[in-house]
Amino acid sequence: MPCLLKIKIIRARSLPVMDRQSSKADAYVEIRFANQYPLRTSIARKTLDPVWNEDFRLEVNDDADLQNEPLELRLLDYDSITANDLIGSVFIDLNSLLTDEFKIDDYTGSRSSSDDESSSSSCNSSN
């Protein structure tokens, strides 16, 4: 059953220094899911505490993708001359989206029901 996965990238805190010249980082987040083209935030330049507040939507055509494929968030440092550097990544299991309403309040990953969504899905399972 087709559904829409809503993702909000809010911020990161206390990043490591990635650019020795400025003692900062030029961070962005890359969102990967299944075989879809990766999405990415804007680049937050010269900061160790970037704020994005950006919303993304992914159309998921098959519930099997939610069961079998994790959502990957990759935090990278942008470099104009050399390859971008990976700062960190997280894989999020989306299985719970098929059974109940899900929300990540903050980096602790606590669950609650709310209309103010950080991460949500409009997927419904017929199982």
- Report the amino acid identity of residue 115: D
- Report the amino acid identity of residue 97: L
94 phi and psi angles, rounded to 5 deg: -100, 10
- What pTM does this model have? 0.77
Collapsed DSSP state (helix, strand, coil) of residue 100: coil
The pLDDT tens digits of the residues spanning 16-52 come to 999 988 999 999 999 999 989 999 999 999 999 999 9
The pLDDT tens digits of the residues spanning 87-120 come to 999 999 988 777 655 555 544 443 333 333 344 4
Between the two ends of the chain, the Cα-to-Cα distance in Å is 11
**Residue 85 pLDDT > 60, yes or no?**
yes
Residue 103 is predicted with a pLDDT of: 55
97 phi and psi angles, rounded to 5 deg: -65, -20
